[in-house]
Structure 1
Amino acid sequence: MTVWEALAVCAAGLAAGAINAVVGSGSLITFPTLVAVGIDPVVANVSNNIGLVPGSVTGAYGYRVELRGQRDRLVRLGVGSVLGSLIGGILLLYLDPDVFQVVVPVLIGLACVLVLIQPRLNGWLAARRGQPHPHGGAALWLGVFGAGVYGGYFGAAQGVLLIGLIGAFLDDGLQRVNAAKNVLSLLVNATAAVLFLLIAEVDWWAVLAVAVGAMLGGFLGAKIGRRIPAPALRGVIVTVGLVAIFVLVYG
């Protein structure tokens, strides 16, 4: 990797870290950039996952105020994220990359719909089941597990999926939902990263370039995201989700 290529990857990491802190889908920037500078797609995916972990840390830290009072639910849901990520990482290394090509855009589209209708859906669910479950119940755990499988496999738009799921099953504000999403995304990325370190080929220069940019981007994204009103944030999330669908289908 040349100096200019490293700078381009670092800039992509900066943008990805900021986007991941606000909504997710940062991999749609860094992964194509790594492939464009000549890195094998599977190696690029692995290296990108590892490199984005520091940005996930800074993004989660930036939402520390919104995380207050969520420890118990995140411990429960985090188990699903970790288990799912392990399975997803193994699938990445052993399955045909085209397996999720049809399913993933559908999942992202469903997540966008959930984000849009979340306020009404929360009210409807609460009326049917009484007091909302403080941790989302078994349905949310299974959904987070599934999102973890997807995140360990590729991860682009993982944040959109998580926000849609968490927002639908928990009666909580969107910023607190986004904070929970950041922690669960961090667990997914970190778990997959450990797995990849043990059994996959890694381009360490790519990891370093992505990580440097993503760390700063995570801080900046958290500062910006926490100031966005909930309706505007929903618009950002849905827009990113639609872009992700377009890139995955036509890219």
Structure 2
Amino acid sequence: MTPWEVVAILAAGVAAGGINAVVGSGSLITFPTLLALGYPPIVANVSNNVGLVAGGVTGVLGYRNELKGQRERLLRLGAGSVLGSLVGGLLLLSLPEKAFQVIVPILIALACVLVIAQPRLNAWLSKQHRPHPHGGPWLWLGVLAAGAYGGYFGAAQGVVLIGLLGIFLDDHLQRINAAKNVLSLLVNSTAAILFALIAPVDWWAVLFVSLGSLVGGFLGARVGRRLPAGALRVLIVCVGIVAIIKLVYG
């Protein structure tokens, strides 16, 4: 690995860690970077997943104040994330990549619509009977599906999670973003363990993605926590649109 390649991976890791802490979709930076440097798609995908775990840890720590009081909620939803991630990781190692090329952009677009419509939907739902304080079975199934997607590829899983959590939970967007960070970390960590055991991981790529995302996750959390709900919502939708364009035309 040349010094230029090291710098490129480190820089991509910083950017991805920061974006993941605020919104999600950091893989849309690191994954193409590894591909451009000549890594095979599966190797790039699994190495990227393992490397971004470090940034997920600093992102969660940066949002620790917003996580207060969410322990029971995250224990329930976290089980869905872990199970879904195992399913998605196994699918990655057994199915062709094209299997998700059609459904993934649709899921991201739906998530963007949910994020935009969240205030109105929450106002409507507040007048209805909420089935469960932690989102109920439909949210759990949605988190399970998002976990499977995250274990398979992962780019924009944060946008999908925020869309789901924002609709089914009556909570502030920053607290929802903090919960998203925990669930994304569970998905990536579960897939990382699976990949480390049975997938072709390039550990040099993992090292430099990890170092970059470690710094990026810390910086992203500091910035993201200061964004007002409206600005955060706009940023989420913009990242989602970029994700769709990259997945469809990239």
Deviation (angstroms), 1:3: 1.4
Letter of the 2:196 counterpart: L
Distance 2:160 2:76 in 1: 18
Q: Residue type matched to 1:44 in 2?
A: A
Hey, what does 1:79 align to over in structure 2?
79
Query: In the alignment, which residue of structure 2 is the partner of 1:155?
Result: 154
Give aligned-pair identity as a percent: 72
Aligned twin of 1:210:
209
What residue in structure 1 maps to residue 226 of structure 2? 227
Cα distance in 2 for partners of 1:133, 1:31 equals 37
Aligned partners of 1:132, 1:54: CA distance in 2, in Å? 35
Distance apart, 1:154 and its partner CA: 0.2
- The answer to whether residue 244 in structure 2 is matched with residue 245 in structure 1 is yes
Partner Cα distance (2:102, 2:14) in 1 = 29
Q: d(CA) in 1 for partners of 2:91 and 2:131?
A: 34
Q: CA deviation at 1:133?
A: 2.4
CA displacement at 1:246 relative to structure 2 = 0.3
Partner of 1:184: 183
Q: TM-score, normalised by structure 1?
A: 0.98
Please give the alpha-carbon distance, in whole angstroms, between the structure 1 residues aligned to 2:123 and 2:133: 15
Q: Report the counterpart of residue 167 of structure 1 in structure 2.
A: 166
- What is the CA distance between 1:132 and its match in structure 2? 6.1
Cross-structure match for 2:120: 120
Amino acid across the alignment from 1:60: V
Partner of 2:58: 58
Counterpart of 1:97 in structure 2: which amino acid?
Answer: E
Deviations 1:140-187 (Å, cap 9, x if unpaired)? 000000000000000000000000000000000000000000000000
The corresponding residue for 2:7 is 7
The one-letter amino acid of 2:49's match is N
TM-superposed CA distance for 1:207, in Å, is: 0.2
Partner of 1:23: 23
**Deviation per CA, 1:94-144, whole angstroms, max 9, x where unpaired?**
001000101000000000000011111112123222x56221000000000
CA distance in 1, matches of 2:92, 2:127: 41
2:170 counterpart of 1:196: no
Match of 2:100, SS state, is coil
1:132–1:170 CA contact under 8 A, matched in 2: no
Q: Distance in 2 between matches of 1:36 and 1:208?
A: 18
Q: Deviations over 1:180-235 (max 9, x none)?
A: 00000000000000000110011011000100000000000000000000001000
Structure 2, unmatched stretches of 5+, are none
Distance of 1:213 and 1:221 partners within structure 2 = 12
**CA distance in 2: counterparts of 1:202 and 1:103, whole angstroms:** 26
Q: After TM superposition, where is structure 1 displaced by more than 2 Å over at least 4 residues in a row?
A: none
For the pair 1:93 / 2:93, whether they are aligned, the reply is yes
**What is the total number of aligned residue pairs between the two structures?**
250
Mapped partners of 2:226, 2:147: distance in 1:
27
CA–CA separation in structure 1 for the residues paired with 2:222 and 2:148: 29
